[in-house]
Amino acid sequence: MSDYAVFESKMKKTCEALTAQLATIRAGRANAAVLDQILVDYYNVQTPIQQMASIGSPDPRSLLITPWDKNALKLIEKAILTSDLGINPQSDGHSIRLVFPPLTEERRKELVKMTKKYGEEAKVAIRNIRRDAVEKFKKQQKASEITEDDYKIAEKDIQKLTDDYIKELDKICEKKEKELTEI
């Protein structure tokens, strides 16, 4: 794989990571992805809820978590309570229901701010990849592995790639902000 493709792959992974991170921010509708970051202390092993239970959405505003091991019910409930999800789980002894209340205007603004923060962190990661690429090309030029013209072309190409991925990050964040602000 060429150097250029390696850097492009890293930038693509940064976009994918941002998309996954933003999926964990709840937007008023029930989405099982909000549980992705929650780990349950199950027999002294930090275990994702998805590996311990089936997760369904009986209606647009709630999730139903049904553990395969009934002994895990209390552990899952405790993990949800201690998370920053902000939802109180309702247990009936067999399953846990999470009811997502409509977001308040204040909470929407907080979530939009969080989205912008994650987007900015991703942009910094993209810029760091660009910096690493430029340094690598500069070393190759100093070692006479590439000509100065090749270096200038590579630098221009990596800048265009960076600009394209920054635009992509902006689109991802805009989409999430729109989702958060629509009522």
Domains, the chain, in order of start with CATH, read 3-23+104-181 (1.10.132.20), 32-99 (3.30.1360.40)
What digits encode the pLDDT tens for the residues 115-166? 999 999 999 999 999 999 999 999 998 988 888 898 899 999 999 999 999 9
- What pTM was computed for the model? 0.71
The torsion of the CA quartet 39, 41, 43, 49, rounded to 10 degrees, works out to -30
Return the pLDDT at 1: 47
Band of pLDDT at residue 87, cut at 50, 70 and 90: confident
| Sole residue written with tokens 């941002």 | 18
Q: Decide if 138 contacts 67 (C-beta within 8 A).
A: no
